[in-house]
Structure 1
Amino acid sequence: MYEGLHIVHRHHGAIDLRSDTVTLPSPAMREAMARAEVGDDVYGEDPTINRLEEMAAALLDKEAAVLVPSGTMGNLSALLAHCGRGDRVIMGDQCHIYWYEAGGASALGGMAYHPLPTAADGTVDLDLLREAASLGDDQHEAPSSLICLENTHNRCGGVVLPLDYLAEVAAIAQDAMLPVHLDGARIFNAAVALGVHVREITRHVDSVQICLSKGLAAPVGSLVLGRADFIARVRGMRKMLGGGMRQAGVIAAAGIVALEQMVDRLAEDHANARILALGLAEIPGLNIELGRVQTNIVRFELQIADLRVEEFLGRLRQRGVLMGGMGGRTIRAVTHYGISAADIEHVLGVVRECVE
């Protein structure tokens, strides 16, 4: 089942920890892509895409699913299907939709973002959420139409939203008669970390976007899932955004392998992230909150006053290790398919050399 899963990923010879988007498809994925049966997906005639969508819907316990080229398009298509122009979309002020998706819902959908303060654990205060969800009765207010969550939470370091928190948000949304959309780009990391089936997370939300090309290592693609009538609207929005694909079964074939073979191995990425975090915690000049290292993302602070982050990252790069800056003194490293425990030990040695 895991044949070919231990191919080391190198970016021009480097150990690349910038993101789990740098993964290369497994040999099984490449073989499946080469042999994929295809058809015209806009006509609904690509059998491999249809199989992937049906498989994902059953896995996440949703009525239907639609394949989209990217997570950003998936989230935007979902928001456009949920909301109209002038509607208020409630979200945390550190979420991916707010920071990294080019303001698409506002620019293209005319929606008003309502960002709420995000706590270090990725949650938003429930009282603030309840208050925001109730807005819209006054003619001066944009009507609240949607609540967005993110799990795992990227900017908070890959932290996992607790199931009881998801249940409380769902209750608030139900009282306000609002749907909940989950940016679940790394939802399988969350499920593995919690030790639950992924549907224990998705049961609390109306729609969800999942990414196949991060930890699951497919080369491209995301899925949006929800009620059948909602997914029909998402398909229309996908077409409007230019995401209607034709013989894209070659993409879906890798996605099928991702869902069948690459979920359980995420625990290996989490273990490697923990090894990395514990090692970084022992290096003078670095600061890390170990409690926030819950999945495959490791964030730490460079506290050497006369060493700039850019210089530190340059030193790493010269020694064959790639990490990313997150603003200020914060640096991020992400473990993923193709990164081994031996690679992590090598990285720790390089980091020690770069700060000494």
Structure 2
Amino acid sequence: MPTHTMRAIRLHEHGGPEVLRYEEVPIPEPRPGEVLVRVHAAGLNPPDWYLRDGMANLPPETRPRFELPVIPGTDVSGVVEAVAADVEDFSVGDEVFGLLRFPSFEGSAYAEYVAARASDLALKPAGIDHVHAAGAPMAGLTAWQFLIELGHDHPSPFQAARHRPVPLDADTTVLVNGAAGGVGHLALQLAKWKGAHVIAVASGAHESFLRELGADRFIDYTKARPEELVHDVDLVLDAVGGPDSRRLLSTLKRGGSQFPVFFGEFDEEETAKLGVTVTGTQVRSNGAQLAELGSLLDAGTVRVAVDSTFPLADARAAHERAGQGHIQGKIVLTVGR
């Protein structure tokens, strides 16, 4: 490395996109169990703007602790630049991608270099570029841990019960709400990979995109309410979640399940009366699961859609794009020296 400093985006205060500062900071040094990654691309995710605005939308008891200034970002794709002495799985020059240190807010991915736990990383699929790889980790692992395999024993801050994915096959019907977004479009593809019949809910502008990804049925929520059109589904994966999520309970058959990615308020009496369950989890970094997802990305079985890209220095514009909504796939920052 020619210098001991790098460019990064930092927050010194909370607020809108204007608080994102492009600054020169020291290059981190990998600690035991870590590698130094030269970042080629960093993906944007909702926790990035939750951090930026002070996590006002999260209950106080679920807010991770952090100190300002902080470098945001968790999703990264790049090349290993240095390796701690105890790391055996990666070597200098390896192309890697990962969800870093989540659910903490210490990922520090909006930077030219990042020190990453080796256990958070997987080899980047050779068949995709860094931009698409950087769009995969958080959204892909969220879909994976909700639908395929939880992969950890950590309790959710939103519920006492352990989340259990529903087995998916040709006899399963899955409704994906918010199907065009980061989690939604990957969840749709994973459900199709397992053979399920998938109903995609999004705005009409995304219909052709979602049908290309394999949606068997499409509902434009701007023209019709899915709860009035759909009944007897086995699983609702609600990638939107929040206060309105409970309206989708009526689409389920008895014995069905609803998985809200962003937990809302549900009435236990209502769910018991309907004979359905509501469960969720909090995505966690997992390099082994990401390697499994990576094999699907490499084969083209699952693909990451990129809504837009912005240079690292233009992170503010990237966050402004995120604030506009109606995102198709992922927003990604490109990084170069």
* TM class by smaller structure: 0.3 to 0.5
TM-score by length of 2: 0.33
TM-score by length of 1: 0.32
Q: Which has the higher contact order (CA 8 A, sep 6+)?
A: 1
Q: Which protein is richer in strand relative to its size?
A: 2
